Structure formats: C-alpha cells, structure tokens
Amino acid sequence: CDFPKYWEQLNVAGATLPDCETLAPEAPASDYAEQYLVDPSKGSDTPSCGTLAAPCQTIAYALERCGSSNCEVQLEFGQYQLTSTLQLRDGASIIGGYDNGIRNSTYQSLILPAAGQLPLQGSGLNSRTNLENLMVNGPEVSTAGGASVILQLSDSPNLHFAQSRLVGGRAAPGP
C-alpha cells in the first residue's frame, strides 16, 4: 500500500487515516485448489505465470498449467483474442470479470474467436467446470449457408454457465 508515503502531500495533519488493510483488503479465499490469473496486456506465458504480479498472457496457457480437476483460470476484465479454438478441460473453470485480481461479478471478459474458427470446444467434462462472467463471440462466416458456431461439446454433463453470454457472429447469406 503506497498511501502512507503520500500523507505529507495530502496535508492530513490531525486526521485519522485508515490503515492499508482497510483500504485494500485481501481477496477472499477461493474454493479452487489452483488459480491462474490471465491478463492479455500485462501477462507473459511462462512456467511461473498466473499471479497478480506475473499473470499469464493467454487463456490456453493458463488452462495447460491446471494440474488438478479443481482449477480456476481467472480472466482480468478485458478482451481476449484467441489464436485457435480453446479446448476446455475437465474441472478447469474459466471465470471472467476480475479487476486487479479481485473478482467483480458485474464485469464480463470478452473472448473473441480466431478467424473462421469456433471459440470453445470440450469433451468429457465430467467434473464441475464453470464458465462465468464471460461474453464469447462466435466467428463471422462467409460461406453461403454457413453457421456461426460458438461451442462444440460431447460427453460433458457437468459444464455450467453463470452470468455469461454466447453471441453468434455474422453469418453468410443462405444458398
């Protein structure tokens, strides 16, 4: 907390100021065994990424880091441009809307597809897998009669959505 070093500049003589813990409380404990924070503008995909001080850059890399079936990939509020279809993993939840490492349920993180590809795909999601606080856009389709597919699943009875939107991309005219 840098607040105390600015007290002199703030002219707070005689005032009672809160301590840093009051100003910036720690984030509540998570129910997940593992957590990896992702920030596309500040992150870097390295073997030690996933913290507030050193976030991962891509969702795919953070998902690869998940070793357990009780993992949370935390997306900082912002836009995530995929370079390929994102493969969902059993028990690895993707939760958007984080703001400086703190979850804000009023924010959504935006996932954009790679050109011409569906954004999300999963198979065998048997452990609880959550997609929360996300907006996932589908691809634009130029082939006549083509559809904008956002999510392809098989054998995945335990995928849950909360406060998320799947938005189809612009489809091509019919045949």
Over residues 12-34, the pLDDT tens digits come to 555 555 555 544 444 455 688 99
Mean pLDDT within 163-172: 88
Q: Where are the beta strands (DSSP E) in 45-158?
A: 71-76, 79-81, 86-87, 92-99, 102-103, 109-112, 120-123, 129-132, 134-137, 151-154
Over residues 96-151, the pLDDT tens digits come to 999 999 999 899 999 999 998 999 999 999 999 999 999 999 999 888 877 889 99
Q: Does residue 165 or residue 29 have the better pLDDT? A: 165
Which residues, listed in sequence order, are joined to residue 96 by a DSSP beta bridge?
none
Residues sharing a CB contact under 8 Å with residue 13, sequence separation 6 or more, in sequence order = none
Mean pLDDT within 2-20: 50
Q: Alpha-carbon torsion 76, 40, 74, 27, what sign?
A: negative
- Supply the pLDDT for residue 69: 83
The 10 Å Cβ neighbour count of residue 155 is 9
- On whether the CB atoms of residues 96 and 75 are closer than 8 A, the answer is yes
Over residues 37-95, the pLDDT tens digits come to 999 999 999 999 999 999 999 999 999 999 878 999 999 999 999 999 999 999 999 99
pTM for the structure as a whole: 0.81
What number of residues does the chain have? Answer: 175
The residue with tokens 């070093």 is: 5
- Supply the pLDDT for residue 134: 96
- Supply the pLDDT for residue 19: 54
Q: Is the pLDDT of residue 153 over 60?
A: yes
Residues sharing a CB contact under 8 Å with residue 48, sequence separation 6 or more, in sequence order = 54
Within 13 Å, how many C-alpha atoms sit on residue 37's CB side? 19
Q: How far is CA 28 from CA 25, 56, 101, 120, 135, in A?
A: 9, 21, 11, 29, 24
Q: Is the pLDDT of residue 168 over 60?
A: yes
CA–CA separation, 45 and 61 (whole Å): 6
